[in-house]
Amino acid sequence: MAVIEKGQRLSPTEAKSHLAKLTQQMQLESYIRTLERLAAKESNPILSGALDYYRKNKKLTPKYAAVVFWKLQAFNIDHHPSFFQIELRRAQHIDDLRQMPTARIHRFWSALTTAQRRKAVELGHTPPKDRIVTD
């Protein structure tokens, strides 16, 4: 299938890259719409802050993730946790994860990468026993 961008036919490699970028942009817009729906459900400065942070950084902090995933569940808003990336590069975010109760981390465990899950275990947290966390 030919892919044309700005009047130019793209090579197969360029087309694949272009389509991957478009897919990534569509996914990001979908995640933002999910956060917008959530923020509209409840007047909560934490949810508004999470939406602003996600728009700017394309990730959630551990504190924002704990609240966002809790509220997504509470309002039965369809989402897939692994779509949202969690920011764990800053020392403050790692410290936030360390101090957070394990039950809260379980809310967004599926959004953590394998390396982030290992880090959570190193910080003293345990993996969830099952995929459904109801705390």
Residue 130 inside a domain? The answer is no
Phi/psi of residue 62, nearest 5 degrees: -55, -40
Helix, strand, coil percentages, rounded to 5, for the chain = 65, 5, 30
Tens-of-pLDDT digits for all 135 residues of the chain? 777 777 788 788 888 888 888 887 888 888 888 899 889 998 899 999 999 999 999 999 999 999 999 999 899 988 877 788 999 999 999 999 999 999 999 999 999 999 999 999 999 999 998 754 444
Residue 89 inside a domain? The answer is yes
Helix (H, G, I), strand (E, B) or coil at 52: helix
Strands (E), the chain: 4-5, 8-9
Residue 50 inside a domain? The answer is yes
Residue 132 inside a domain? The answer is no
Domain range for 33:
4-122
Q: How many domains does the chain have?
A: 1
Residue 49 inside a domain? The answer is yes
Residue 90 inside a domain? The answer is yes
Residue 127 inside a domain? The answer is no
